Structure 1
Amino acid sequence: MTCSWNTQRRWDRRTILRGIGVSMALPWMESIPVWGQATAATASNSKPPVRFAALFAGNGFHSKEWWAEGDGASMKVGRVLKSLEPLRDQMLFIRGLYNQEALKGNIHSSQTGNLLSGAPLASGGEIRSGTSVDQWIAQTYGRNTKVPSLVLGCEKSNPSVHKNYSMLYSSHISWSSPTTPTPLEIYPALAFDRLFKEEVHQQDQSVLDAVLGDAADLRRHVSQSDRRKLDEYLDSVRDVEDRIAQAGKRGELQGWRPTMEKPDRERPADGIPQDISEHMRLMCDILLLGFQTDTTRVTTLKLNNDHSSLRFPHLGVDYMIHHLLSHSDTEDWLKVNQFFVEQLAYIATRMQTIQEGDGTLLDNSMLLFCSSMMNGGHDASQLPVVMLGKGGGRLETGKVLDYRDAPNRQMCRLFLSVLDKFDLHPEQFGDASEPLPSV
């Protein structure tokens, strides 16, 4: 995201050139009191990229079995989260966050359409929400890949109206703009094609190219001698990049490379699988393929709609649709909850087996799992939130964070924390103006 340089800008030791997903320190210049250095490591992007995924399960969870307490390997979890027990050291269980706007409307649509943005929703069938956190990341950091954002779902959008709100809000968690829900792909074959149909894979752009606009603006505000110094500095960075590129062509490994160059499985069959278990697993695998091949770094996976009509015969639960099951804390409802969390556990477990340098794909990712209400009674006073992965060392995991008694416990504070990990620092996001402490 290019900055605008001007004579009123405050210069300090932290000033850097910025581009999309890139920052580069400046050398010392007489015109401004800035120190910095360029190295082969910063120029070559040698570290694995950080990935972000948001997974959504509608209608909340069993009210008595969604909980966690303790730290690390000794953490205890409720039965809904049982499949995450082997991943406790990678888990951040967050309690007490809420979405203020979700309490102003009615139920379902008005609780879901702004889950990832915290924006006010238009009623009366009109469509207006806010740009979601995944798209904030995709529209900047995500541009470094072939597919800036992959938006997947396992249930078709519902175009009807419920309680004076469009059901499109119940069907979409990702919004590219306040009036545009991001197109949702529910066909595994078409999602696969979007990732891999074109043979040419778009690699990261040059670090230098990413910051040239910012450098040109700076150049107009420094002395003649500093312009020469800046040009020499940028030329040296370009030389490092060129040498690294040539080494790569000779087969010499330099810096991070994706663990796979092409998919390791066949294209899924056309259509939508009749078995919801197969459908969800295919979408999980496509999410993994996108990250593992570095075809995308931002994905949302909507496992179902809020107010969902999915059925679960493979669980022996076929007498009632998802939405109606959610209205009481039965053992069958618990089975369905566990099935949904198992999708998250599958993704994270697979990620943990994929080595990337000194860590794993899970170490270099942030997985957000949430719903628009705590339980099927439409309780949105606090939301179920779990995060997995260390975000490239930027997240401290293996702990429970409880904000129930905090004065400012907006869900959007969590999103500001996530954006901060991607070097995106909006002054305001939804109803929040500061990130969460301890995240």
Structure 2
Amino acid sequence: MTKRMGRPVGDSMPRDEAAEPADPALSCTVPEAPEQTSGRGSEYPTEARNMMDIAVAAFSCDITRVMSLQLSYAFSHILHSWLGHTSDHHTMSHDGQDRRRELQEIDAWYSEQIAYLLGRLDSVSEGDGTLLDNTLVVVGRELGSTAHRMERVPFVMAGGARGALKTGRYLDVDGQDHAKLLVSIAQLMGLETSSIGNRKPDSGPLSGLV
């Protein structure tokens, strides 16, 4: 997630300005301590919500403007027991069609967590809009399917980024390197770069996104 406010798109932030204190007009209150967990897998939903609540608090207080949240990973052995499952995520992902219903339930649960995060961001008033209006949330996954497929990997972008990004669209960019998406995001935030990662220089942004 990246929060962008107070600057027109295209402006870069000088190094000395990046260390300026937050806008004094913004005020924050110390939130209640999150519910304590013991680290057991069954408490994973509570831990996920705690992380998202902390992220929203940090953005709303302007403590940071960039946040990375990882709820799972490609070799996750999380047992989604709260969904009634008896086998872990990674094991089921190799069972193909036999586990399709359970895998869809897991995808739906993660989508609900993203909806929760967006709702929390949208509940915070900021300027003429909400925190979500001033934030760009990028949701991605490592694989395009459960069979280690590297193509057609879905990404979801939400939030207005201060009006810099047109939302409500579905873009089919099959065959494009996802590094181009990252270049587009970096440029949207005012960074002067044309490549990211171990790709050829000047690979450029993703056409049609911005």
TM-score by length of 1: 0.41
Whole-Å separation in 1 of the counterparts to 2:25 and 2:203 = 36
Structure 1 residue 276 corresponds to structure 2 residue 37 = no
Matched with 2:66 is 298
Distance 1:257 1:398, change over 3 A: farther
Distance 1:313 1:426, change over 3 A: same
Matched with 2:82 is 314
Matched with 1:437 is 207
Whole-Å separation in 2 of the counterparts to 1:18 and 1:277 = 37
Tell me which amino acid in the other structure corresponds to 1:284: M
Distance 1:267 1:429, change over 3 A: same
* 1:315-350 alpha-carbon deviations (Å, 9 max, x no partner): 111x21111122324211111111111111101012
Distance 1:17 1:364, change over 3 A: closer
Distance 1:325 1:257, change over 3 A: farther
Structure 1 residue 286 corresponds to structure 2 residue 54 = yes
Distance 1:368 1:21, change over 3 A: farther
Whole-Å separation in 2 of the counterparts to 1:418 and 1:363 = 16
Q: By how many angstroms is 1:308 displaced?
A: 0.6
| Pairwise CA RMSD | 2.4
By relative contact order (CA 8 Å, sep 6+), the higher-ranking structure is 1
Tell me which amino acid in the other structure corresponds to 2:15: I
Structure 1 segments (4+ residues) deviating >6 Å:
none
Matched with 2:126 is 356
Tell me which amino acid in the other structure corresponds to 1:421: L
TM-score by length of 2: 0.82
Larger Rg: 1
Matched with 1:371 is 141
Q: How many corresponding residue pairs?
A: 192
- Secondary structure at the counterpart of residue 206 of structure 2: coil
Distance 1:256 1:359, change over 3 A: farther
Distance 1:256 1:358, change over 3 A: farther
Among 301, 318, 333, the residue aligned to 2:103: 333
Q: Percent identity?
A: 26
Q: How does 1:384-395 map to 2 (within 5 A)?
A: 384-395=154-165
Alignment check: 8 A CA contact 2:37 2:47 kept: no
Whole-Å separation in 2 of the counterparts to 1:363 and 1:21 = 26
Tell me which amino acid in the other structure corresponds to 1:368: V
Q: By how many angstroms is 1:256 displaced?
A: 7.4
Whole-Å separation in 2 of the counterparts to 1:296 and 1:18 = 14
- Secondary structure at the counterpart of residue 275 of structure 1: helix
Structure 1 residue 423 corresponds to structure 2 residue 190 = yes
Give ranges in structure 2 of 5+ residues lacking alignment: 1-10
Whole-Å separation in 1 of the counterparts to 2:16 and 2:149 = 37
Distance 1:314 1:424, change over 3 A: same
Among 170, 179, 187, the residue aligned to 1:412: 179
Q: By how many angstroms is 1:435 displaced?
A: 0.9
Distance 1:369 1:17, change over 3 A: closer
Alignment check: 8 A CA contact 1:373 1:379 kept: yes
